[in-house]
Homo-oligomer: A and B are copies of this chain.
C-alpha cells in the first residue's frame, strides 16, 4: 500500500452498500453448525487489526477457543450468570427474559475470546494517561471491525457478555492483566434480518437518532 496519496475514492454505490452492511449486521445467536472455511478466521482477525488503537498500542489479543473442556467451562459460566440475571427480573419481564436466546455457544463452530492487554508497552502509553480505558475501547473497535468484515462474508457474530470476566481469564489461562472484553460466537447465521433480535421478540426497540443528539 502506498504511504500517502492514491487514496481510494469511495462512490455512492459503495456508501449505499456500506449502509446496508451496517443495517444488516446482527448480533447472531442462532447459528448453523457448518464450519468456517480454513483460514477465514485468521483473515478476518487480520482485518480487525486495522482498527484504530490508542497510541497505536494494538492491545487486542484474540484467543481462538477450540478445546472442548475450556468451551464447556465458558458455557457453564454463561448458564450460571444468566440464571442470576433471570433471578433479578420480576413478573412479566422475568417471563420474557426466560424466553430470550442470548447466546449461540452450543451451535457456533468458532469461539473467540477477546482481551485487552493492559500491560503492553506498545505505543509507549501515548493517549491513555488520563483515560486508560481507551485500551479497552481500542479492542472494542477491533471487535466491531471483525464483526463488519465477517458480515460482508455472510458470517455472523454474537457477542456474549453474560459472563464473569475473572472466570473467563481462568478458564482460558491467560494473564491476569489481560482485561476480558468479549466472548464471540462465530459462524453462519440461520437467517438474515435488518432488525435486532431483541426488537423482533419485543424486548426493546430502537429509538430514532434524533433522541441521541444534543447541542452545546
Contact = CB atoms under 8 A, between A and B. Distances in A.
Contacts of A23: 1, 50
Nearest to A54: B161
A45 to B, nearest CB: 6
Nearest to A145: B22
A33 interface: no
Contacts of A84: 129-130
A18 interface: yes
A163 B24 contact: no
Contact of A152 (B1, B2, B14, B199): B14
A140 interface: yes
A85 B129 contact: yes
Nearest to A85: B129
Contacts of A81: 129-130
A23 to B, nearest CB: 6
Interface in A35-58: 42, 45-52, 54-58
Interface of A: 1-10, 14-15, 17-25, 27, 42, 45-52, 54-58, 60-67, 70, 81, 84-85, 88-89, 93, 97, 100, 102, 113, 122-131, 133-134, 136-137, 140-141, 143-145, 147-149, 151-154, 159, 161-165, 172-174, 181-182, 191-196, 198-200, 203-207, 209-210, 212-216
